[in-house]
Structure 1
């Protein structure tokens, strides 16, 4: 396997700053906006985005964390035991604009599960999607409203997002496997 560095720490910081600006351009004072990060790295990115937006607004922005493991469609047997994490949604999502945050958009199945999980909390006015990396290969009709970087990938490649909070460093790497052997996305 080979690995190529796509983004390093400073580039990730610049992208997150740009994405925070785009949120503010679209939603001005973010009065009805709630950022909701998809566990795990999406939650880490949402925390960073919330700090950036809060610094510009000089006030807090609601921040939620969503665990989607019970909503995934790839648990096909009783042998697989998903790790169930915590969701934390700070208040009602009814009539809010929810900005779902994730690290990588691939098939769209994670986002489908997140939408289903989110609906258990109420009915948002709108849901927008923000991703650090959009790598293509959609299996569902899902697109991101905010994209940090679009990366053309093969199905046999894997995008690894490493974040300081979880991995001890900030980096995005593209890893190539053997053609014809798709690598599973976490």
Structure 2
């Protein structure tokens, strides 16, 4: 399988900095905003965004973690007992009447985001849900679009986008893999 790097560590850093500024600007600050990362890599991206936003605003933005395993409509079984492996959700404050900014690494069909919205709604009633993604690769199956995008990378359905983050993979990069 052939791979090409489309974002290196510096490009990822610049994208996250830009998204941070866009979040602040669109929401006129960060009051009543909560970043919620979708497991797994979305959580690390949300924490990085929170760090940048904190520096720019001089104020912390709450960060939560969301596990959408039970909300997937294409649930795959990941344990011996044929039960889904649930990693847990942790949202530190009430989401009622707050602006939730979902954070994920790649936006593809939209099914992950739909599942995340279902999971969020089970935790309360936010005033608004926004979406921030590092990569939008197209091929939507549902009418979902990102409010904040690090990079649009048009792909064919035979290609695969792989996001690697230091926290999980010991490097920061986004690659596109083409089947030969």
> For this structure pair, what is the TM-score category when the shorter chain's length is used for normalisation?
over 0.9
Q: How many residues align?
A: 178
Query: Is residue 5 of structure 1 aligned with residue 42 of structure 2?
Result: no
2:17 counterpart of 1:17:
yes
Q: Structure 1, residues 66-85: CA drift from partner, whole Å, max 9, x if none?
A: 00001011127797543211
Task: Determine the structure 2 residue equivalent to 1:88.
Answer: 90
Per-residue deviation, 1:101: 0.3
Distance 1:81 1:174 in 2: 32
Q: TM-score, with normalisation over the residues of structure 1?
A: 0.92
1:141 is matched with 143
1:32-81 Cα offsets, whole Å, 9 max, x none, are 10000000000110000000001111121111100000101112779754
Is the CA contact 2:76–2:84 (under 8 Å) kept in the aligned structure 1?
no
Once the two structures are superposed, the pairs formed by residues 5-154 of structure 1 within 5 Å of their partners are 5-75=5-75, 80-154=82-156
CA distance, structure 2, for counterparts of residue 11 and residue 76 of structure 1? 33
The runs of 5 or more residues in structure 2 that have no matched partner are none
Secondary structure at the counterpart of residue 116 of structure 1: helix
Contact 2:159 2:177 in 1 (8 A): yes
TM-score using structure 2 length: 0.95
In 1, the alpha carbon distance for the partners of 2:75 and 2:26 equals 37
| Unaligned ranges ≥5, structure 1 | 179-186
Q: How well do the aligned residues superpose, as a CA RMSD in angstroms?
A: 1.4
Partner of 1:184: none
